Structure 1
Amino acid sequence: MLFKDLHLKEYIQIALNEANFTTMTPVQTEVIPQALKGEDLIVQSQTGSGKTHAFLLPILQNINEDVQEVQAVITAPSRELATQLYQVASSLIQAADKPIRLENYIGGTDKQRQLDQLGPDKQPQLVIGTPGRIFDLMSDNALWVQTAKILVVDEADMTLDLGFLKIVDEIASRMPQDLQMMAFSATVPQELRVFLNKYMVAPKVVTIKPKQVISETIENYLINTKGKSREELTYQLLTMGQPYLALVFCNTKAYADQMSLFLKEKGLKVATIHGDISSRERKRVMKQIQNLDFQYVVATDLAARGIDIPGTSLVINTELPMELEYFVHRVGRTGRNGLEGRAFTFVTPDDDQAVSDLEAMGVEFEPVELRQGQLVEVKHRDSRKRRQDTANVKEDPKVRAMINQNKKKKVKPGYKRKLNWKIKEHRQAKAKQDRQAEKRSQKAARRKNNQ
């Protein structure tokens, strides 16, 4: 579906054309028409699917520029996320005929200045921000959300994880009963579902399943550390080539600091991002990263959700995330917009079950070792079981030929992973054909019996 088919306001169409946005993504195709009708929506979609425009476009389309009151509120669980949404919205309203007052209310900014700029006749039409600061301004009777017609909770599951859902509840409770509410989330836990049902009326559920859990353009490697230093392995991988931008993920703030110190002592210019970094410092560092002042970034999962750093070509997971769903968000920082990327994940034998769980989710790994500065392919940890499984499956000639091709030892990195995808797709297509043939056969048999 094309954006021009939506008949949006002229200034929105101009902004989309300038950004070369013509065709909608699956989540935009599903969400925008329903959002324009005022439907309550629960949208389950992965990061990078185009969901930001899926809710911003309907909001801007419905804003009345002549009414100076809060008409829509968007909450985001982190300052970086809120700022990113604010920047996208700002770019969309550049060509508007009449001014639209858009404000970004986040922690770490001058609250008194924001209070001074608010008043009975000085309300923003679109509010974007973190739940805490929005609620603070409401509590001071400066920001009036009672007039809002739309509430969007972005990254709702992350909002729940960080403990902000109660504050969002406080915000929503002060809005009109006929409020249109939209929640966008990678997952929808039961506690989140209970909260949404409190405010939504017969919500439409939109689930966008990615064609692949991880983009085809990403080479996804698994490295068994075998007692080796994770810091040293990280340094070797970072210095093997010249990554445009490398993200190194750590589970804890303490280990992120430890990793950063090690890499800095090795002579690398490293930026560090985690929850203990002050708001001003984080803002400064993010700006430096976007200006390519840093080639290496060490981060906790704070940076895995919503912070889009263009050009990330390498991701290193120094350990599997404690919540496996974050794995896809981490690796998804690279290989975006059709560009190639590499991801390395360090594991120990204790991680076998977690790796199996990821594989069950559709994540495919290529096991490798680092030997004398070179990546060497190694056997999969359950290669014997895989051989038995393959032997027990009756394959058609095409799949059997691809499996034989996959046994070649000397192939380009990533080749076997891509071939595995082709085998998987062919099996799924063949199974679908078999099911359809069975249905046709049953239908023919019923017709014959009725004659």
Structure 2
Amino acid sequence: MKFTEFTLKEFIQKALADINFVRATEVQEKLIPIVLSGRDLVGESKTGSGKTHTFLIPIFQKLNESSDQVQAVITAPSRELATQIYQAARQIAEHSEVEIRLANYVGGTDKARQIDKLQSKQPHIVIGTPGRIYDLVKSGDLAIHKAGIFVIDEADMTLDMGFLETVDRIASSLPKNLQFMVFSATIPQKLQPFLKKYLTNPIIEQIKTQTVISDTIENWLISTKGRDKNAQILEMTKLMQPYLAMIFVNTKTRADELHSYLTANGLRVAKIHGDIPPRERKRIMNQVKNLDFEYIVATDLAARGIDIEGVSHVINDAIPQDLSFFVHRVGRTGRNGLGGTAITLYQPSDDADIRELEKLNIKFLPKEMKNGEFKDTYDRDRRVNREKSHEKLDLEMIGLVKKKKKKIKPGYKKKIKWAVDEKRRMTKRVENRAKGRAERKAKRQDF
């Protein structure tokens, strides 16, 4: 469906044409009419599906530019995501002949200046992180009590980062006659009480796809067994020739280590994690947009909500401890119908996690680096087939023990002993995998 088929204000159509938005995405086609109708909505769709314009377009369509009041409030769980939404909104507003006042309220910015500006005029549309928005509401400087629309973007991330209570306080400051919208890649069970509290008979739309990630993305698996991981990633960088690659790691310590290693080897690498100060993060993001870097090393929570154009490759330094982050990582590439490659480094103890991801219809291609290129290699399922043969041997061992006769054939004892030893080796391997998973969970505090 083309955007021109929607009944939209002329300046909105001009704004969309200016950024070459011709056809609506599946999410936009299905949800924009619902939002325009005024219904409460829970929209669930894969990352990178166009959720931002799904709620921005109807907000601008409904906006009364002559009013002096706040008419819409949009929260996002990170400064970068809030700024991304603000930039998208500003691009639309710039095409309006009548002034549309937008405000981006995030932590790390000049609060006193924001308060001073609010004394003279209130914005039409408020965008920002929950903490800063609520601070301005609590102080009485930001008047949202007559707003007609409230949007929570990336609700699952809002919950993950512990901001839901602050969002709750913002919601309680808004009028009862309100259109409430929640957009998210997933809708966790823990979010349900909040939705029931505020949403009135909402339309719940799950935009289902064959896979949870774009089918333009190739997922490669490369084993790290017996290899130095830093050297392995460095070798990858020489083979990939990316436009821009994001390398995801599980801890801040690992981010520092890998960033130092790659930088020391002459690569242009940015680093993003929770300990990077806001001012420094903003500077880094500007450099990323200017293509000053080829690689970005990032942790999950720090990187979620950052929308970076032109990511051609994603490297998973390790499988994330929370498997839901895998989708968010890989979804950074292959956007807008473009191709992308996601490379995941794994070790044998990750097999159970990989199988969980495969249940989501994510198909992995086993690869190896050989003779200066990426080559197809054997599927790791060979291990499973061996394990199945071991199970047969276990059953055979039991049968042999039960049916043992007085007259033992030559080699019989050796066969039983071999089967017992093999069973012990398999059990030990399973225990080691379980131990590895437990250790990874214990390291979560290092995010």
TM-score interval, normalised by the smaller of the two chains: 0.7 to 0.9
C-alpha separation between the residues in 1 aligned to 2:231 and 2:302?
Answer: 23
C-alpha separation between the residues in 1 aligned to 2:53 and 2:312?
Answer: 25
Over the aligned positions, Cα root-mean-square deviation in angstroms equals: 1.8
Q: Which residue identity does 2:274 align to in structure 1?
A: G
Structure 1 residue 167 corresponds to structure 2 residue 156: no
C-alpha separation between the residues in 1 aligned to 2:260 and 2:384?
Answer: 42
SS in 1 for 2:74: strand
Post-superposition Cα deviations, 1:18-76, rounded to whole Å, max 9, x if no partner, equal 22222211111121111111100011111111111110011111111111111000000
C-alpha separation between the residues in 1 aligned to 2:240 and 2:52?
Answer: 34
In 2, are the aligned partners of 1:47 and 1:306 still within 8 Å (CA)? no
Structure 1 residue 352 corresponds to structure 2 residue 358: no
Post-superposition Cα deviations, 1:80-131, rounded to whole Å, max 9, x if no partner, equal 0000000000001111121010000000000000010012x51111000000
Please name the residue that 2:205 is paired with.
206
Q: Which residue identity does 2:30 align to in structure 1?
A: E
Offset, 1:339: 2.6
Please name the residue that 1:373 is paired with.
372
In 2, are the aligned partners of 1:304 and 1:326 still within 8 Å (CA)? no
Offset, 1:309: 1.6
SS in 2 for 1:147: coil
SS in 2 for 1:117: helix
Please name the residue that 2:230 is paired with.
231
Alignment of 1:245-284 (within 5 A): 245-284=244-283
SS in 2 for 1:282: helix
In 1, are the aligned partners of 2:272 and 2:298 still within 8 Å (CA)? yes
- In structure 1, runs of 5+ residues without a counterpart are 390-451
Post-superposition Cα deviations, 1:155-182, rounded to whole Å, max 9, x if no partner, equal 0000000000000000000111111100
In 2, are the aligned partners of 1:269 and 1:296 still within 8 Å (CA)? yes
SS in 1 for 2:32: helix
Please name the residue that 1:244 is paired with.
243
Query: TM-score of the superposition, structure 1-length normalised?
Result: 0.83
C-alpha separation between the residues in 2 aligned to 1:153 and 1:100?
Answer: 21
Offset, 1:306: 3.0
SS in 1 for 2:151: strand
CA distance 1:241–1:348, change in 2 (3 Å): closer
Q: Which residue identity does 1:69 align to in structure 2?
A: Q
Please name the residue that 1:318 is paired with.
317
Please name the residue that 2:145 is paired with.
146
Post-superposition Cα deviations, 1:234-281, rounded to whole Å, max 9, x if no partner, equal 111012242111111101111101110111111212110111101000
In 2, are the aligned partners of 1:304 and 1:333 still within 8 Å (CA)? no
In 1, are the aligned partners of 2:367 and 2:376 still within 8 Å (CA)? yes
57-66 vs 18-27, which moves further: 18-27
Please name the residue that 1:396 is paired with.
none
Please name the residue that 1:22 is paired with.
22
Post-superposition Cα deviations, 1:383-434, rounded to whole Å, max 9, x if no partner, equal 48689x9xxxxxxxxxxxxxxxxxxxxxxxxxxxxxxxxxxxxxxxxxxxxx
C-alpha separation between the residues in 1 aligned to 2:46 and 2:112?
Answer: 37
Query: TM-score of the superposition, structure 2-length normalised?
Result: 0.84
Please name the residue that 1:297 is paired with.
296
Structure 1 residue 180 corresponds to structure 2 residue 172: no
Post-superposition Cα deviations, 1:142-197, rounded to whole Å, max 9, x if no partner, equal 00110111000000000000000000000000111111100001111122111011
Q: Which residue identity does 1:91 align to in structure 2?
A: Q
C-alpha separation between the residues in 1 aligned to 2:385 and 2:307?
Answer: 37
Offset, 1:218: 2.3
| Higher gyration radius (CA) | 2
Structure 1 residue 113 corresponds to structure 2 residue 91: no
Please name the residue that 2:402 is paired with.
none
Q: Which residue identity does 1:46 align to in structure 2?
A: K
In 1, are the aligned partners of 2:273 and 2:303 still within 8 Å (CA)? no
Please name the residue that 1:37 is paired with.
37
Alignment of 1:360-399 (within 5 A): 360-383=359-382
SS in 2 for 1:285: helix
Offset, 1:304: 4.6
C-alpha separation between the residues in 2 aligned to 1:239 and 1:303?
Answer: 26
Count of residues paired in the alignment: 388
Offset, 1:289: 0.5
SS in 2 for 1:205: strand
Please name the residue that 2:94 is paired with.
94
Please name the residue that 1:61 is paired with.
61
Q: Which residue identity does 2:338 align to in structure 1?
A: L
Please name the residue that 1:404 is paired with.
none
In 2, are the aligned partners of 1:304 and 1:329 still within 8 Å (CA)? no
C-alpha separation between the residues in 2 aligned to 1:71 and 1:217?
Answer: 38
Q: Which residue identity does 2:286 align to in structure 1?
A: K
SS in 2 for 1:32: helix
Structure 1 residue 215 corresponds to structure 2 residue 196: no
Percent identity reads 55
SS in 1 for 2:335: coil
Please name the residue that 1:50 is paired with.
50
